């Protein structure tokens, strides 16, 4: 059973907590695919911003202020900037392993993503590149299947549906184990951090799906997203896909 302080975290605008029922755009990458010096800089800035976010939220818990809103905008811009920087590095394919370009390894990831469709989420699209993965899905966790529970630590929300961290832990854990076995290696397979963003409206949803599928086009690997073997689009979206130019 999933259990988390949803009301507390969401009211404080924690960046890794999303509204139940939200569609998510998630990116995760192979361990070692980003230079260590770049990661150190990113993590140091991220830690300071998140600590500052928590401090401001505690100070203004009962009275939202322009300072809190401005900091949240700053935090969102920070994530957007680093996402784009990481994307450029990943597309250059100059750092770390490229195991996902192997059909067997990429296939393990694709199989797990599809296996969890319906059971854990509604899968809309994904793109498996040589060193990272983009996926768009809507977890089954919604307001309707949440219930309140009082604990010694305070009010908590519980659900039989998995949270995003639980979905990612299972996805990355299973595929890391199977991939390492297939490669005859041990050690970290995925970077521990993932980038996640919740989609706010229909227009953004279609932009995110298009961005996901166009990843190999942007990287200069194919001219049409349909030609990339690591791409997947839910059948219900096929008619829409015919209306845009890749």
Mind listing the pLDDT tens digit for each residue in 194-228? 899 889 899 999 999 999 999 999 999 999 999 99
Higher pLDDT, 138 or 144: 138
Instruction: Name which of 41-55, 78-92, 114-128 the model is least confident about.
Output: 41-55
Average pLDDT over residues 52-66: 65
Q: Considering the chain, what percentage of its residues have pLDDT values greater than 90?
A: 48
| pTM confidence score | 0.81
Mean pLDDT of the chain: 84
Short-list 107, 105, 110, 142, CA closest to 123? 110
**Side-chain half-sphere exposure of 141, counting CA atoms within 13 A:** 25
Average the pLDDT over 13-22 and give the result: 61
Residue by residue, DSSP assigns 193-232 as EEEEEEE-SHHHHHHHHHHHHTHHHHTTS-SSGGG-TTEE
């Amino acid at each position: 059973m999933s259990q988390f302080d949803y009301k507390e975290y969401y009211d404080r605008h924690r960046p890794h907590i999303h509204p139940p029922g939200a569609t998510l755009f998630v990116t995760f990458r192979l361990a070692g695919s980003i230079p260590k010096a770049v990661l150190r800089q990113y993590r140091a800035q991220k830690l300071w911003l998140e600590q500052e976010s928590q401090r401001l939220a505690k100070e203004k818990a009962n009275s939202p202020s322009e300072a809190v809103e401005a900091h949240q905008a700053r935090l969102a811009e920070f994530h957007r900037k680093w996402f784009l920087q990481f994307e450029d590095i990943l597309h250059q394919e100059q750092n770390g392993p490229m195991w996902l370009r192997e059909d067997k390894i990429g296939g393990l990831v694709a199989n797990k993503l599809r296996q969890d469709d319906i059971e854990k989420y509604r899968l809309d699209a994904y793109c498996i590149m040589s060193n990272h993965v983009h996926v768009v899905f809507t977890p089954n966790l919604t307001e309707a299947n949440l219930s309140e529970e009082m604990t010694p630590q305070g009010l908590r929300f519980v659900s039989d549906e998995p949270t995003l961290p639980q979905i990612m832990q299972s996805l990355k854990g299973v595929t890391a184990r199977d991939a390492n076995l297939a490669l005859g290696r041990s050690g970290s397979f995925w970077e521990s951090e993932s980038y996640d963003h919740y989609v706010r409206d229909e227009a953004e949803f279609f932009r995110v799906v298009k961005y996901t599928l166009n990843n190999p086009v942007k990287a200069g690997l194919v001219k049409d997203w349909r030609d990339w073997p690591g791409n997947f689009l839910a059948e219900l979206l096929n008619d829409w896909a015919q209306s845009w130019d890749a």
